[in-house]
Structure 1
Amino acid sequence: MDLALPIWFEVGSLVVITLILVGDLLLVIRRPHVPSLRESSLWVAFYVGLALVFALVMLSVAGGEFAGQFLAGWLTEYSLSIDNLFVFVIIMARFSVPRKYQQEVLMVGIILALILRGIFILLGAQLIENFSWIFYVFGAWLVYTAIQQVRGDHGDDDDKDSLIVRLVRKRVRVTDEYDGIKLRTTIAGQRYFTPMLIVFIAIGTTDLLFALDSIPAIFGITQSPFIVFTANVFALMGLRQLYFLLGGLLERLEYLKYGIAFILAFIGVKLVLHAMHANELPFINGGEHIEWAPEISTWTSLGVIVAAMAVATIASVVKARADAKKRGHTLSDEVPHFTED
């Protein structure tokens, strides 16, 4: 289905979104602090509400199919962003980033994620437009990623630096102490890089890896670059506040990775079915379309995504509460919350 959203709506939306992002960035720069639980909750609710309002506006402007694609794409990207956030938590702990600097680090991570995803969206859109068989590749990659998601454990590698980080450590003089959010500092007349450089590199490589997963996933829901980009932006909005809101709870969402893996596998299968339906490869069915391959609707995808995340989250919370009860505590007792400094 060819999407044709009104140009005025696309341009106007991008202008408003840009202003909101710039405003959020200025707040971090002008008022650096550790958000309280209440402040974080209000901001997360604001950004979620903003995404839902955007979906309603899209519904009124362009119809239910467009709004459904945005919602399904936003929920998919939001779930992947939470997984991305989990890795941010590990990076912060791994490099002992002081809490008062974490907001700035998260903002840099979100900006890097937006830039990288924007690049991958442009590349993905060009590939889809010129090579319909790329859906086979995207689908296979997502199924593979889903398998790795189930088999892998974030905690297994939290004490290991990436190859890029190890190379930087070998070739660059890095101090042991932070100097605010500065990348360079002076000690005894000598210039050194601070550990913040390593943190930014670690977050940047993480963003790159997640962009490789998230962009093929959302292209399995919609082929509109505008919807793909706005779904990513709304998914990343409020991620910084969500980090402080969830606190230690992320570590207790044990089954979250299974829900995300199921979503990735589902979209991967959907992409392969779509590729079969639009097949042009000469060595598959003689280059003819495979008519019996079913096309999964946007609303079916939305239902599967919501159900997968709901089941994974509820199961995780139930298990976390049961485990806390065995230790003679409540879940709220064991989850640290950030407060104003």
Structure 2
Amino acid sequence: MDVSAGLWIGTIGVLVALVVADFFIGGRKPHEVSVKEAGIWTAVWVALAALFGGFLWWYGGGKPAGEFFAGYITEKSLSVDNLFVFILIMGKFAVPRIYQQRVLMFGVIIALVLRAVFIAGGAALVSQFSWVFYLFGAFLVWTAWKLIKEARADEEEEEFEENRLLKAVQRRIPSTADYRGTKLIVRENGRRLVTPMLIVMLAIGTTDVLFALDSIPAIFGLTQDPYIVFTANAFALMGLRQLYFLIGGLLKKLVHLSYGLSVILGFIGVKLVLHALHESGVHVPEISIPVSLGFIVLTLAVTTVTSLVAARKQAAAERAAEPEKIDA
């Protein structure tokens, strides 16, 4: 799709305006986010993504719109997996519930800026070297296998491990022992100190980059258009804060989510390898965007249904076991 500089500037301007509006309407005053509020805002962000997809359909036709929706759904589903780690981070830093939405808002903004850098680098590689698709495809297949192994292992006791950047900040920059409202930096006894609020924001933002290592190659497997890659990531990330509060309590019920994500990543990895072979002149079938979109949606639907059924059976088994424990 031919994207002019004016469209890029306009799109970034609209996205910035949406983030500012989100902050002033729902995020400026610290408060505990209710399920109702999170549900309304989640619906708003999904509707905005759908409207943008409609704009792409009008502007460039069905192909870019289909690529956007496939990329958006993939990034959204992968971001749900990120929420498990975000919950661990919030727990490790003992973030008060009234400040969690502020932490997520600025953490997501940091993540979006860093992902934009990743996307620019990935787009440059893809445009210059077609063999990069082989690397992306192999990496996604390997990641899919790794996800399956992790899903089969018992990861319930997993703890958040600080990355190197975060450790460096905590080691070299003086910080307060407790939160000071929403302040990031305070002055005490003539010294500037950072607060845990700033550190946890960095934790959220920089940890997301680790997830981008698989999500960015995944979306490049669906489209090589940097504009669509960026906007799909932007819309998927900007609604992540509300999604955290909406399904935070349901995450433990999505017991098969990792299996579904591994299937999706493996599928896109195979698609990338087929595309690379096709670009090299080998006559192999390529997987179309409608087929990719249908496969992704079907996989997520099946994963959600089987997860809820498994969670319900487990809950029933636990209830049935309670009288036995009491009798014993």
TM-score, normalised by the number of residues in structure 1: 0.85
Pairing 1:290–2:282 present:
yes
Tell me how far apart the structure 1 counterparts of residues 101 and 211 of structure 2 sit (CA, whole Å).
20
- 5 Å-filtered alignment, 1:1-341, equals 3-4=1-2, 11-28=9-26, 30-152=28-150, 155-185=156-186, 191-279=192-280, 289-291=281-283, 293-328=284-319
Change (3 A) 1:169 1:16: closer
Indicate the RMSD between aligned Cα atoms, in angstroms.
Answer: 2.3
Tell me how far apart the structure 1 counterparts of residues 169 and 268 of structure 2 sit (CA, whole Å).
37
Change (3 A) 1:156 1:278: farther
Q: C-alpha deviations, 1:252-293, integer Å up to 9, x for none?
A: 2111111111111111111111111112xxxxxxxxx212x2
| Residue 326 of structure 1: how far off its partner (Å) | 2.5
> Does the CA contact (< 8 Å) of 2:115 and 2:212 recur in 1?
yes
> Does the CA contact (< 8 Å) of 1:116 and 1:211 recur in 2?
no
- What is the percent sequence identity of the aligned residues? 50
| Residue 169 of structure 1: how far off its partner (Å) | 3.8
Tell me how far apart the structure 1 counterparts of residues 123 and 177 of structure 2 sit (CA, whole Å).
43
Tell me how far apart the structure 2 counterparts of residues 22 and 193 of structure 1 sit (CA, whole Å).
24
> Does the CA contact (< 8 Å) of 1:113 and 1:211 recur in 2?
no
Matched residue type, 2:318: R
| Residue 137 of structure 1: how far off its partner (Å) | 1.1
Tell me how far apart the structure 2 counterparts of residues 11 and 173 of structure 1 sit (CA, whole Å).
39
> Does the CA contact (< 8 Å) of 2:89 and 2:160 recur in 1?
no
Change (3 A) 1:277 1:84: same
Matched residue type, 1:214: S
SS at match of 1:177: coil
Matched residue type, 1:113: A
> Does the CA contact (< 8 Å) of 2:83 and 2:248 recur in 1?
no
Matched residue type, 1:247: G
Change (3 A) 1:177 1:67: same
| Residue 215 of structure 1: how far off its partner (Å) | 1.2
TM-score, normalised by the number of residues in structure 2: 0.88
| Residue 311 of structure 1: how far off its partner (Å) | 1.2
Tell me how far apart the structure 2 counterparts of residues 13 and 174 of structure 1 sit (CA, whole Å).
38
SS at match of 1:312: helix
SS at match of 1:157: coil
Tell me how far apart the structure 2 counterparts of residues 243 and 84 of structure 1 sit (CA, whole Å).
10
Change (3 A) 1:31 1:192: closer
| Residue 237 of structure 1: how far off its partner (Å) | 2.4
- After superposing the two structures, state which structure 1 stretch, 151-160 or 29-38, moved more: 151-160
Tell me how far apart the structure 1 counterparts of residues 150 and 185 of structure 2 sit (CA, whole Å).
35
Residue aligning to 1:335: none
- After superposing the two structures, state which structure 1 stretch, 244-253 or 112-121, moved more: 244-253
| Residue 5 of structure 1: how far off its partner (Å) | 5.0
Change (3 A) 1:12 1:195: closer
Paired residues, number: 317
Residue aligning to 2:325: none
> Does the CA contact (< 8 Å) of 1:112 and 1:204 recur in 2?
yes
| Residue 98 of structure 1: how far off its partner (Å) | 0.5
